[in-house]
């Protein structure tokens, strides 16, 4: 059907081509509508170097045979944008773009803006409307605008939906079933957020979604789009935020995807040295093209707009910042100033955060960044990247290295568990124990721990206790809460059968109690980003592998004293300094028999005496079991919540 020049807004086309169309998904792609008195589907595609663009599908035998049945698109002036209207087409129609390149070569491409794709291994796009869902999460959406995340508890449960629970190979739970099973479990365990590995459509299960083809299509592995909306909605109804891993650093090379979309490097850089990501066998986006900026910025807002996602964890930021990240010498390049920073990527990341916070100031924008690039969580107007959180990869690497060391040798590497406090307030940090640490031969968290079977559990309980009381928000990958013994097997469900064994079930109950204590005691999260929220009591006892410190809430609203023993030697009497006299109540003992510990006696209440210790006017004398963490609360400051 012939279309008029007004079929697509000239303003939208201008904004798209200048990198300023922030809701491009409303213009581009396939949209059911009425035009010229007929119901059908409008198609809009960006292919500036194409000689011809057509839409093919079941309705045209995919361009085979009589080509007159294909829908030819028309280019709007010199904008590089092609448009057309297919009368009689309806939702559910499968389609692709047939693109003829400058030299006459034809290729079939999935729609970069498609809202739904076929289940792999099929690759067609599907005409889908995302309108009409009646959201029932209004209270949450209003409430999240009021409470800033910095002085709130944040316990994130990281999930790969396909392998959280699985009935059999490739028999995934669908979104709607997960809306009940997963959300109820997260609530039972006391988490505040779910973070989902990428849900953008991807061809290979084993990429876990990090190598995408359909950036606007929620993967069909787990059912239709409304099912994902139900999952997010029910999480919100239960008071749980939902975060999504978002991959804007690279995309896969599959023929039907973004690679050489119109016969030329379009979404990727024209310089192959800049485009190639040899570490992953993928291609980097070209952030210097304004249309690519419109595509990516719109995609970030799309997940917040359409699916009510509460924030994005931006993957592989370090690989975006450095032009030569993990590249051989032959592929190394420099920027226009002779340096190796990717100036266009830096501009994109700043623009990303400015755009998201313009429309959703309450969002969580988290950088998964292993680099030492400064000011990642500083505002862009101060020269920062503008994220509000950064994963603390340094803390994670140091702590895992320390915990994997046999307790007999830990005194020689004591600084690994104390160094993080030198930079703990340089950024707003999340302390991640993520999927990346339990795959590719790295072993599970439990199996990283040294010692006997029982000592592995004791070490992991101790590790979790220190992690929970260290400044910074928290993230734990699924299975860590019950001590998954094997590393994560992405093609199988978690080893839920382990809960039949006492130590694994005890670990799950311990983590649940630790989560409960964390969320109910403001001292453990109100001061995460200010130095006044943390104070060492004894930081230098390397010989005994002991640490003690205090977390403090604002306005004297509570305090928690933590005592961590990383050695195999326990003590029947150990004195530490405290700030005030009076009674101290035991909040947590990781060595309780109920948690799988030895059950060594530790009193529920001790009295602080006027005996100076560790620079404090008073002190308490307590037993400290081996490989344990004890948490104490001044009695007069008890919250009453327990």
Q: What is the pLDDT of residues 399-417, one digit of tens each?
A: 999 999 999 999 999 999 9
State the average pLDDT over residues 243-270: 97
| Residues 600-630 pLDDT 10s | 999 999 999 999 999 999 999 999 999 999 9
Tokens at residue 529, please? 């980003």
Residue 195: φ, ψ to 5°:
-115, 125
Per residue in 430-461, pLDDT (tens digit) is 999 999 999 999 999 999 999 999 999 999 99
Mean pLDDT of the chain: 95
Distances, alpha carbon 531 to alpha carbons 68, 262, 419, 429, 527, in Å: 70, 53, 15, 13, 7
Closest Cα to residue 462, out of 612, 314, 570, 336?
570
Q: What percent of the chain has pLDDT over 90?
A: 92
Q: What is the DSSP letter of 289?
A: S
Domain layout of the chain by residue ranges: 5-126, 153-524, 531-637
Rounded to the nearest 10°, the torsion over CA 248, 254, 256, 257 is 10
Q: Could you say which of 195, 245, 286, 315 is catalytic?
A: 315
Query: What is the 3-class SS of 45-78, one letter each residue?
Result: EECCCCCEEEEEEHHHHHHCCCHHHCEECEECCC
- Predicted confidence (pLDDT) at residue 206 exceeds the cutoff of 70: yes
181 belongs to the catalytic site: no
Peptide bond into 121 cis (omega under 30): yes
DSSP 423: T
Q: Give me the pLDDT at residue 65, please.
A: 62
Give residue 626's pLDDT: 98
Per-residue pLDDT tens digits for 559-585: 999 999 999 999 999 999 999 899 999
Number of Cβ within 10 Å of residue 276's Cβ equals 19
The pLDDT-based confidence of 641 (bands split at 50, 70, 90) is: very low
Q: Domain 531-637: what homologous superfamily?
A: Golgi alpha-mannosidase II (2.60.40.1180)
- Cα dist. 108→118, 247, 256, 282, 507 in Å? 15, 24, 6, 20, 51
Tell me the C-alpha distance between 254 and 272, whole Å.
16
β-strands 473-477, 429-433 pairing: parallel
pLDDT given at position 556: 73
pTM above 0.75, yes or no: yes
- Annotation: CATH topology of 5-126: Immunoglobulin-like (2.60.40)
Question: Identical fold at 5-126 and 531-637?
Answer: yes
Using one digit for the tens of pLDDT, what is the confidence trace for 123-166?
A: 999 999 999 999 999 999 999 998 888 989 999 999 999 999 99
The rounded distance, in Å, linking the Cα atoms of 504 and 430 is 26
* pLDDT > 80? residue 64: no
In the predicted structure, residue 639 carries a pLDDT above the cut 50: no
Beta-ladder partners of 583: 607
- pLDDT for 31 equals 96
Q: What is the CATH number of domain 153-524?
A: 3.20.20.80
Active-site choice (368, 369, 398, 528): 368
Is 368 assigned a catalytic role?
yes
In sequence order, what are the residues at sequence separation of 6 or more whose Cβ sits closer than 8 angstroms to the Cβ of residue 76? Answer: 5, 8, 13, 82, 83
Q: Is the pLDDT of residue 395 over 70?
A: yes
């Amino acid at each position: 059907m012939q279309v008029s020049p007004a079929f697509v807004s000239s303003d939208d086309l201008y904004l798209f081509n200048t990198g300023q169309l922030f809701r491009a998904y409303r213009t581009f792609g396939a949209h059911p509508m009425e035009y010229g008195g007929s119901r059908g589907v409008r198609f809009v595609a960006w292919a500036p170097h194409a000689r011809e663009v057509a839409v093919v599908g079941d309705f045209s035998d995919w361009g085979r045979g009589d080509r007159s049945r294909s829908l030819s698109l028309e280019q709007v002036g010199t904008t590089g944008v092609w448009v057309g209207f297919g009368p009689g087409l309806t939702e559910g129609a499968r389609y692709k773009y047939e693109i003829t390149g400058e030299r006459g070569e034809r290729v079939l491409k999935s729609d970069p803006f498609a809202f739904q794709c076929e289940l792999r291994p099929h690759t067609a796009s599907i005409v889908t409307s995302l309108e009409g869902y009646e959201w029932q999460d209004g209270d949450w959406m209003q409430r999240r605008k009021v409470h800033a995340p910095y002085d709130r508890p944040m316990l994130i449960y990281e999930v790969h939906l396909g392998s959280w629970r699985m009935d059999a190979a490739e028999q995934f739970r669908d979104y709607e079933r997960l809306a009940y099973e997963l959300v109820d479990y997260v609530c039972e365990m006391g988490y505040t957020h779910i973070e989902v590995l990428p849900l953008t459509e991807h061809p290979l299960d084993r990429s876990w979604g990090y190598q995408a083809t359909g950036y606007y299509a929620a993967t069909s592995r787990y059912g239709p789009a409304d099912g994902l909306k139900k999952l997010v909605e029910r999480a919100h109804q239960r008071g749980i935020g939902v975060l999504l891993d978002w991959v804007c650093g690279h995309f896969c090379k599959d023929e039907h995807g973004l690679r050489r979309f119109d016969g030329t490097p379009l979404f990727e850089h024209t310089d192959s040295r800049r485009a190639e990501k040899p570490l992953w066998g993928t291609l980097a986006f070209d952030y210097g093209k304004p249309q690519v900026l419109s595509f990516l910025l719109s995609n970030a807002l799309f997940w917040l707009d359409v699916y009510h996602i509460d924030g994005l964890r931006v993957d592989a930021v370090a690989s975006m910042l450095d032009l030569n990240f993990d590249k051989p010498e032959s592929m190394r390049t420099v920027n226009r100033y002779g340096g190796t920073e990717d100036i266009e990527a830096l501009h994109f990341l700043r623009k990303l955060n400015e755009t998201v916070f313009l429309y959703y100031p309450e969002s969580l924008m988290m950088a998964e960044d292993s680099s030492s690039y400064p000011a990642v969580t500083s505002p862009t107007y101060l020269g920062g990247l503008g994220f509000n959180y950064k994963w603390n990869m340094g803390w994670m690497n140091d702590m895992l290295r320390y915990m994997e060391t046999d307790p007999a040798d830990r005194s020689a590497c004591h600084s690994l568990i104390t160094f993080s406090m030198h930079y703990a307030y340089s950024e707003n940090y999340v302390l991640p124990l993520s999927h990346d640490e339990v795959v590719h031969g790295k072993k599970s968290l439990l199996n990283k721990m040294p010692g006997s079977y029982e000592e592995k559990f004791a070490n992991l309980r101790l590790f979790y206790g220190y992690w929970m009381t260290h400044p910074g928000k928290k993230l734990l990958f699924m299975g860590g809460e019950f001590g998954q013994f094997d590393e994560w097997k992405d093609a199988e469900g978690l080893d839920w059968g382990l809960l039949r064994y006492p130590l694994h079930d005890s670990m799950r109950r311990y983590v649940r109690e630790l989560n409960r204590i964390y969320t109910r005691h403001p001292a453990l999260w109100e001061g995460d980003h200010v130095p006044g929220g943390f104070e060492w009591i004894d930081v230098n006892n390397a010989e005994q592998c002991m640490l003690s410190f205090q977390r403090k809430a604002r306005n004297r609203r509570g305090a928690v004293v933590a005592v961590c023993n990383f050695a195999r030697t326990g003590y029947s009497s150990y004195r530490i300094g405290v700030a005030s006299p009076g009674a101290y109540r035991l909040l947590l003992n990781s060595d309780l028999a109920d948690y799988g510990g030895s059950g060594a006696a530790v009193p529920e209440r001790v009295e602080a005496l006027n005996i100076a210790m560790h620079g404090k006017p008073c002190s308490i004398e307590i037993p400290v079991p081996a490989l344990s963490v004890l948490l104490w609360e001044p009695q007069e400051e008890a919250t009453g919540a327990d």
